[in-house]
Amino acid sequence: MKISSKAALLSTFVFPGVGQLYLKKYLRGLVTMFLSCIGLGYIIWSSAGSAINHLDDVMVKMQGGTMNLQELSDIVRSKLLTTDSHNNFVFYFIVCIWIFAIIDAYRIGKQRGLQDKETSQ
């Protein structure tokens, strides 16, 4: 398997930036991984905070003793319909970083393959 294909597959299926690390482009790989981790961390943090707020609403209703399944269903449904617009932006940012990592790893691998061919001749 060509080095460019290996690097692209590593960035595709393992994590963005791993292909660059495989090609010994450490700074580029670490920056790509860092940006992806920051984005994923934000989405996880935001989702966990939202889930805790939803649970607080449910607990308040349950402590009042007037909770039935329909009210619970209404709370969950209303909370699911409201999404943070920042989460959508961060999600698309991560997708763009991931696509960049795949293309970049493949391109660097192609260059490395051509350099290896020239030096072996």
Residues above pLDDT 70, as percent of the chain: 91
pLDDT category, 8, cuts 50, 70, 90?
very high
Contact, 42 vs 58, CB < 8 A? no
CA atoms within 13 A on the CB side of 111: 9
- For residue 80, what are its two tokens? 């699911």
Indicate the pTM of the whole model: 0.80
For 28-51, write each residue's pLDDT tens digit: 999 999 999 999 999 999 888 877
Q: Which residues contact 118 (CB under 8 A, 6 or more apart)?
A: none
